[in-house]
Amino acid sequence: MLLNESDPRAKRRVLRQGIASGRIQRVAGAYSPLVAMAIEAAGFDGVYLGSSTMATEIGLPDIGLVTQSEAAARGAEVARVTALPTIIDIDTGYGEAVNVARTIRLLEDAGLAGCHLEDQVNPKRCGHLDDKQIVPTEEMAAKIRAAVAARRDPDFLIIARTDSRAVEGLEAAIARGRAYREAGADMLFPEALADAEGFAAYRRAVEGPLLANMTEFGKSELLSAEELQQIGYAIVLYPVTAQRLAMGAVEAGLKSIIERGSQAHLLNQMQPRQRLYELIRYADYQRFDDSVGRPTVTPDET
């Protein structure tokens, strides 16, 4: 068939196998299904759908305004177009523990491979901004237990993100990580660690797989995938990179058209029509249409 036919359970197993392989999994953020297809074509190991890009794509700030149903629907749109496993950001879980449980079921039905849940107070803030507030450890642990209890596929990856490093310090972030692991989290996501030593210190202090967020213009030093793999991280995340690249080009290009009166000088910076058609498999749809014997409409001769 034309659309991606990868079974969601198989994609979850692929993600688990990748994490267990010892080779860091490179996961890039998609702000649309088309970008997810480009991420796969570029050779990444997974696709990510973050709350930041989901919010900004509809003209909102990343402060918890995207709803549970909006996230699940967008996740389904992205997951269906790629053979790669897709991880989604569910902020603080859209409510209390019971809301988290329902969210997990919705995400499984949508074909997602995993999600991450954070310990901020709702409404949350971007993880690399100041003045974040976090909930008590046990409140977050209850949400993690709810997520684990709700999943039907044991390969669905549940990632616990802690924003406590910037609020309470590294030792508190380590203690929370250990508590979240005890509650059943499959992977830990320590947000806004400062530098290579901070990432290494966290790795030494906690067991199990870790995710490193390499977002631009934030509080973390931008480390290479190779460096993070040597430290011992299992996933490196580039959550907003594609959107930032695109919006930088969009704003510069639009300004240039206003200044010069035409887009002719920008053609070599654009994705050609033919490449777009290759990415969306335009010719395959044409061949499929022909293969099923689409009827030919003839003029009415009466």
What is the per-residue pLDDT across 275-292, written as a single tens digit (0 to 9) for each? 999 999 999 988 888 888
What is the per-residue pLDDT across 20-42, written as a single tens digit (0 to 9) for each? 999 999 999 999 999 999 999 99
Spatial distance between the Cα atoms of 243 and 124, rounded to a whole number of angstroms: 21
Whether the model pTM is above 0.75: yes
Q: What pLDDT score was predicted for residue 203?
A: 98
Averaged pLDDT, 80-101:
97
Catalytic site includes residue 186 = no
Averaged pLDDT, 8-20:
98
Residues above pLDDT 90, as percent of the chain: 87
Residue 134 token pair:
């976090």
What is the per-residue pLDDT across 166-203, written as a single tens digit (0 to 9) for each? 899 999 999 999 999 999 999 999 999 999 999 999 99
Which residue in the list 26, 74, 116, 176 is annotated as catalytic? 116
Which residue in the list 12, 40, 74, 126 is annotated as catalytic? 126
Q: What pLDDT score was predicted for residue 267?
A: 97
Q: Which residues contact 65 (CB under 8 A, 6 or more apart)?
A: 55, 123
DSSP 3-state of 152: coil
Angle at 49 between CA 192 and CA 109, to 5 degrees: 130
Averaged pLDDT, 255-267:
97
Span of 255-259, 289-293, 298-302 with lowest mean pLDDT: 298-302
Long-range contacts of 282-290 (CB under 8 A, 24+ apart): 284/2, 285/2, 288/2
Catalytic site includes residue 126 = yes
Q: What pLDDT score was predicted for residue 300?
A: 60
Domains of the chain: 8-247 (3.20.20.60)
Mean pLDDT of the chain: 94
Q: Is the pLDDT of residue 256 over 50?
A: yes
Which residue in the list 26, 128, 161, 165 is annotated as catalytic? 161
